[in-house]
Structure 1
Amino acid sequence: MKIAIFTDTYVPQVNGVAKTLNRFTNYLNENGHSFHVFSPEDCGAGSTENVTRLKSVPFKIYPECKISLPNFSKIKNKLKEFNPDIIHVATPFTIGLCGLQIAKKLNIPLVASYHTNFDHYLHYYKLTYLESFLWKYLDWFHRPTKKIFVPSKDTLHHLNTKGFNNLSVWTHGVDCSLFKPAEDQEKIKQKYNITSKYTICFVGRIAPEKDLDTLTNIMKYSKQRFGNQLTWVIVGDGPKKEEMMKKTGTNQIIYTGYLQKNELAEIYSVSDVMVFPSDTETFGNVVLESMACGTPVIGANAGGVKNIIRDYSTGILCEPKNTLSFCRAIEDCLQQTNMLNRMSKKARDYALTQDWNSILSALILEYEEIVTPPLSPMLFTQKA
């Protein structure tokens, strides 16, 4: 197939949407499909044969996201040259909007994927007065699409309640050859100067929508409870990093910034558990990555995360924003070694079933059903 992807975020940006789309385009390349991505310019990354980078500026509220200024005529000409079978818009902002308009104008089959619970974000950015407008816009934006792909059953249910139709679950996988238990944990601990008995990690953007208030409270409580026996490793960056460091201090807390691939897998694998209080996730890629490394996750019983974690099996689900619930779960894990070991094995076993190739091949089949019209019953009648 020939697939055009319009997105407002793509590698080298570090977020779940960018990483998912990069994994998808790698799959397309490896399996004989053609693709072309239209995305913002970022970190000096220029256009290539398969990627057209568009001029962009940082979004004030969310600086790591880019607001692009697309040249509609240039994109249209590039798209005509590529001649795609289908257009996939991954974000509903400037570049996604451009893809929507071109698909309608050139009569190319259009699908979308829904990766972000924007309405939940409004709460954390004190913009809830925009919620009504947001849903009207999202309804208008997605109405021309043949199908909307969502990453979890929870997201599908959420959009169903808002009147969206033609929904299909496109779950996410994990590379278990990259994210796997470490063979030499002591060597990794020496690398990061971790000398404590216990290690807990958090991986994610250090931004309001990750519920940093709850995370900070959990960290403060656990430091009081376990003292120097416990080290926290905070992986990620974002607008609230400096503020969070001031609130938590840096004693027995390591802030690594963004880590890529092998180093990220190292942190997961040397941690006893990962704590993830975010209640805004449509999926939670980091949850599955952690589980692939044999590290159970203590997460919020909300959003897509609750569709991944099996309570007291592959991790523990806690009441969102309930610091005490998370702290009790931490104590259960750290003080019951046999239980933690069982959850570690079950987490890894579950991750091994979430294979990217089978997930992405199923997505291609759905594309083909959309692009290939069903045979007319008249053909069979005439043949008979």
Structure 2
Amino acid sequence: MKYKKIDFSKYDIIHTNAEFGWWFRQKNKLLIITIHHNPFDKEFQKYTSIAQKIFYYLWIKPNFKKSLLMADKIVAVSRCTKSSVVNYFKLKKNIKVIYNGIDTDFFRPINCGDNKNKKTRILFVGNLIKRKGVDLLPKIMKGLGDDYELYFTSGKRTKIPKKLKARNMISLGKLNDKQLLEEYNKCEILLFPSRLEGFGYCVVEVMACGKPVVITDYSALREIIKDEKNGYLCEINNVDDFVDKIKMARKKLDDGGSFSSSRDYVKNRFSLKVLAEKYKKFYKLMALRKYE
């Protein structure tokens, strides 16, 4: 790998992530730090190994904290992330929330043909880790029965755990963006029982395709949807609640209801265009303060 030296003299603002942001601090330059999630949140740490804890606390934490202290401005990608970081680090600085954005020109409704299988097609997207609620999937599918099928991605894993090899659970393996777009459009409902998210990309991506979501009423996920309007919120770890809400989504579809308005909802709040406009205004404001 070849490294290129950056000429910082051309820039007024340096914008980077929190983990090692302080490394880029330059004299007479504004430093903006973005926090995508708080890796020291107690809910996040519940699902880390001993080796990961050592890495986070001995290596990441000192750099993370130093970046926060040296930043001229801090951005969080959700209110949940902001609250978690403020409470953990006892920050006095004001943190601005700017949600992540997705490419709504790419993530869109496409025709993938009719679902010839009469079973309800559910989709899970994410790494097969406990924090994502993967351990809940077999229990939820057992509660739903054979009229429902769950298609799930393998993420970084190549070996599928035995507990995910139920007859109504089908692995899709690791998908590229084009394949993911197809699966978003093939599915009827997205299931995402994650226990902690800094944002939740798959949720807004599938909503941009006009699909309903059944997600956890916790962390940043609850900020993304309007409950019972474009999706359903479920109590964390409550298998029965997830089963009931999936059936509610199915009934709404059977009764002729639609979730197509989800696309406009995402375009107006979580598109790259909206993200760019917010950062454009933010950068201008920061630059004006620099030269006051």
| TM-score category (smaller protein) | 0.7 to 0.9
Change (3 A) 1:272 1:144: same
Aligned residues: 284
Contact 1:235 1:259 in 2 (8 A): yes
Contact 1:114 1:149 in 2 (8 A): yes
Q: TM-score, normalised by structure 1?
A: 0.66
Residue 176, structure 1, aligned to residue 104, structure 2: yes
1:238 maps to what in 2? 156
2:239 maps to what in 1? 323
1:150 maps to what in 2? 76
1:121 maps to what in 2? 44
How much has 1:236 moved relative to structure 2?
Answer: 3.8
Change (3 A) 1:333 1:116: same
1:161 maps to what in 2? 87
Say which one has the larger Rg.
Answer: 1
Change (3 A) 1:181 1:160: same
Which aligned pairs between 1:68-217 and structure 2 lie closer than 5 A?
A: 78-80=5-7, 83-92=10-19, 96=20, 99-104=21-26, 106-118=27-39, 119=41, 120-126=43-49, 138-162=64-88, 163-164=90-91, 165-186=93-114, 195-217=117-139
Unaligned runs of 5+ in 1: 1-45, 53-74, 377-384
Distance 2:110 2:253 in 1: 18
Distance 1:181 1:346 in 2: 12
* 2:132 partner letter: K
How much has 1:247 moved relative to structure 2?
Answer: 0.7
SS of the equivalent of 2:289 reads coil
Contact 2:152 2:172 in 1 (8 A): yes
Residue 348, structure 1, aligned to residue 263, structure 2: yes
Q: TM-score, normalised by structure 2?
A: 0.85
Change (3 A) 1:248 1:132: closer
Distance 2:266 2:278 in 1: 18
* 2:141 partner letter: M
Change (3 A) 1:278 1:232: same
Q: Structure 1 residue runs of 4+, over 4 Å off?
A: 126-137
How much has 1:373 moved relative to structure 2?
Answer: 3.2
Higher helix fraction (1 or 2): 1
How much has 1:263 moved relative to structure 2?
Answer: 1.9
Distance 2:34 2:291 in 1: 27
How much has 1:136 moved relative to structure 2?
Answer: 6.5
Contact 1:207 1:238 in 2 (8 A): no
How much has 1:113 moved relative to structure 2?
Answer: 0.7
SS of the equivalent of 1:373 reads helix
Give per-residue Cα distances to partners, 1:89-113, cap 9 Å, x unaligned.
2240xxx2xx523414x44321111
2:204 maps to what in 1? 288
Give per-residue Cα distances to partners, 1:253-282, cap 9 Å, x unaligned.
321223223321111112111000112111
What percent identity do the matched residue pairs reach?
24
Distance 1:166 1:305 in 2: 22
1:24 maps to what in 2? none
Contact 1:333 1:340 in 2 (8 A): no
SS of the equivalent of 1:242 reads coil
How much has 1:87 moved relative to structure 2?
Answer: 1.8
Contact 2:112 2:182 in 1 (8 A): no
Change (3 A) 1:233 1:333: same
Unaligned runs of 5+ in 2: none
Distance 1:108 1:100 in 2: 12
Distance 2:223 2:255 in 1: 21
SS of the equivalent of 1:124 reads coil
